[in-house]
Chains A and B, each alone.
Chain A
Amino acid sequence: MATHDTTHERDAGEAQQAGRAARGGGWLRQAITVLISGALVVRGVRKRSLRGIVMAVLGGAILVRTMGITPGTGERERPVGRAATGGTEVTRSITIGRPADELYEAWRDPGTMSEIMGHFAEIQSAGDDRLHWTVHGPRGWEASWETRIVDDQPGELIRWRSPTDAMVPNEGVVRFDEAPGDRGTKVTLSISFDPPGGNIGEAAARRLDLVPETIAGEALSRFKSLVESGEIPSLDENPSGRGSGDMV
């Protein structure tokens, strides 16, 4: 499954962080979550340099004001659309100008999944409502797992889950609700990389730079772009003085 064992390779600093965080439920962990999480790390896994940019963007006082972080405490206003469920579970919604049935069908298609999750995972159909996910993290970290659809309500909801002993135990659910005012469908995605019971998953997720807030936000945006405009906006092969491609 995975080429590395996260518990094994975890360095002292990180262990300390995790330990402190676990003890105090503490500010450091919160601060780290804030700094590496959600909106800050935009492309999570493959876009290492983006973090630097975004950190620079949000540096100093502007960070305080934009994100509502109080210096020294690491406290943070709950970001828009985020459920109050803790660090590794997130819920985000988006409104898409298409009927629920069509969106349900698209989400059910492994091809669509592979496109919209392409920003952080490679996805292949593994037959029988199963998908195989592979994630490449920084410094050669890699993990893979399988998910299976465990609840399927056509036009309304799809829930998938990995086995509990997966390297990164995770679970997701997407709901399709008619949006008010004839504006299409409200699509709500919840994902969790730390289902009840496990915290090894959380450590691994951190190691892999998996940031649920980012993954959920980007997956929804990509899904919306794909179904509304027929393509996902892309910076592949984008030229710059640094070469060809996104950020390079």
Chain B
Amino acid sequence: MKALTWHGKQDVRVEDVPRPSLVNPNDAIIEVTATAICGSDLHLYHDRIPSMQKGDILGHETMGEVVEIGNEVESLEVGDRVVVPFTISCGSCWFCEEELYSLCDNSNPNAEIARSMLGHSPAGLYGYSHMMGGYAGGQAEYLRVPYADVGPITIDSDVPDEQALFLSDVFPTGYMAAENADIEENDTVAVWGCGAVGQFCIQSAWLLGADRVIAIDRFPERLSLARDHGDAEVINYEETEVYDRLMEMTGGRGPDRCIDAVGTDAHGTGVTAASDRMKQRLRLEDDRPYVLREAIKCCRKGGTLSVPGAYVGHVDTLPFGALMNKGLTVKTGQTHVQRYLDPLLQQIEEGEIDPSFVLTHERPLENGPEMYETFNNKEDDCIKVILRP
């Protein structure tokens, strides 16, 4: 089958690879009908996530049709149309029972590597390095889905792919980030990053009762979408000093809730940015925490910092003193996608939200390599890409 494979920094290829097959009794195989590229894939594209191997199949935002099921699978049938959460979860460990699906104890075959890096292993993910499971990803014609009774959600209605697909990740991710922000009445929520995740943070902040939403980015098309579709006030951080502007907008209090929807590949300028880049190159630092630093500085005393943005390892010069003395709460994590599938699908089916508003590009899978480049460079006003095998 055809698949997009990782070959190193900014090197994604279309390759012929073997078709996956059923391995465990709870597996299903799906024929992929639509798969998206995520900001998280760009961290791989920048070769920032350890333990990738040349030839690994990318992709964790996937939907399709069930074509084979293992003999223990109960909730799916061949022919079902499903969206697959990017988190692989067994459904029976303590974490899954607590609905902390991205922290599943059982789904990472390479748990020992993750343990050596992180202290404990989180759930396995599709197409996201060997440390995170080593599972082949969904930017391919077929995908093997383990624990098929726990992950995929069946879409019976005629909701089109481009509305349903984002249930696999970015919609629940934005939603969980807003939940993690502990939004209360009269709160001002600031969202750094206006990619798909940031856009869903903005939508979800309103749903969860925000009084005001402020969005920060530098790309005009992303800021326009945040403003026009997301009703957010916007700050272009290249034109304005973010701290000063936020203090001005909030009368010096700072936003009550701050969301970092940018993560490790944050773009920064100035001396600390140059020093972070150098340290990364020397492998003294894994991440570039500009947004974290800025959000800690800006956040209202006693406020909440929610971090859906992905980080890898060690960060330097994090103002922990500010975090501590300002009494901030930090909440973060890979999304517990399974927890949000039913309620968010219902919102889509009832027409309360149409997640396809982030979609800018739809292309055949074969165009994957170019689309990685376009999405990475934010060219052609690209915000979100769907690939069709």
Seen from chain A, the residues whose Cβ lies within 8 Å of a Cβ on chain B are: 38-40, 42, 49-50, 53-54, 56-62, 65-67, 80, 95, 97, 183-184, 214, 217-218, 221, 224-225, 228-244, 246-247
Contact of A39 among B97, B106, B116 (CB under 8 A): B116
Considering the complex, give the chain A residue whose CB is closest to the CB of B142. A239
What are 10 A-B interface contacts by the 8 Å CB criterion?
A53-B130, A56-B51, A60-B283, A62-B313, A65-B314, A224-B105, A230-B26, A233-B90, A234-B23, A246-B134
* Shortest Cβ gap from B67 to chain A (Å): 15
Is B236 engaged at the interface, CB distance under 8 Å to the other chain? no
Asked if B56 and A240 sit within 8 Å, CB to CB, the answer is: yes
Nearest residue (CB) in A for B120 is A80
Of B5, B97, B112, the residue contacting A221 (CB under 8 A) is B112
A235 and B134 CA atoms in complex are apart in Å by 7
Minimum CB–CB distance from A28 to chain B (whole Å) comes to 21
Residues of B within 8 A of A235 (CB): 109, 134-135
When the two chains form their complex, are residues A228 and B93 in contact, meaning their CB atoms are under 8 A apart? yes
Stretch at the interface among B12-20, B193-201, B247-255: B12-20
Given A53-B51, A217-B112, A241-B5, residue A229 in contact with residue B147 (CB < 8 A): yes
Which residues does chain B contribute within 8 Å of A59, judged by CB atoms?
Answer: 283
Contact B116 A54 (CB under 8 A): yes
Please judge, given known A-B contacts A54-B116, A66-B313, whether A225 and B19 are in contact too, CB under 8 Å: no
Q: How many residues of B contact A (CB 8 A)?
A: 59
Contact B116 A233 (CB under 8 A): no
Query: Do the beta carbons of B92 and A237 come within 8 Å of each other?
Result: no
A53 B53 Cβ-Cβ under 8 A: yes
Cβ contact within 8 Å between B106 and A224: yes
Taking a contact as CB atoms closer than 8 A, the residue among A42, A54, A217, A241 that contacts B55 in the complex is A241
> Given A237-B23, A240-B136, A228 and B106 touching (CB < 8 A)?
yes
Contact B109 A233, beta carbon cutoff 8 Å = yes
Closest 10 CB pairs of A and B: A241-B55, A39-B116, A57-B50, A229-B90, A244-B18, A225-B106, A241-B5, A242-B55, A233-B109, A231-B24
Instruction: Give Cα A235–Cα B113 distance, bound, in whole angstroms.
Output: 15
Chain B neighbourhood of A97, CB < 8 A: 92-94, 97
Q: A240 and B57 in contact (CB under 8 A), knowing A42-B110, A66-B313, A234-B24?
A: yes
Q: How far is the CB of B286 from chain A (nearest CB, A)?
A: 7
Whether A233 and B124, one on each chain, are in contact in the complex, defined by CB atoms closer than 8 angstroms, is yes
A224–B15 Cα gap in the complex (Å)? 36
Query: Looking across the interface, which residue of chain A has its beta carbon closest to that of B127?
Result: A240
- Please determine whether A42 and B112 come into contact, CB atoms closer than 8 angstroms: yes
Minimal beta-carbon separation of A163 from chain B (angstroms): 30
Cβ contacts B30-53/A at 8 Å (1 or 0 each)? 000000000000000000001101
| Chain A min CB distance to B365 (Å) | 15
Extra 20 A-B pairs, beta carbons < 8 Å, given A50-B130, A238-B135: A50-B113, A54-B116, A80-B119, A97-B92, A97-B93, A221-B112, A224-B105, A228-B90, A228-B106, A229-B93, A229-B147, A233-B106, A233-B108, A238-B144, A239-B18, A240-B57, A241-B3, A241-B15, A241-B55, A247-B130
Partner of A58, one of B106, B109, B116: B116
Distance (whole angstroms) from the CB of A83 to the closest CB of chain B:
17
Bound complex: CA A78 to CA B131 (Å)? 22
B284, CB-defined interface residue at 8 Å = yes
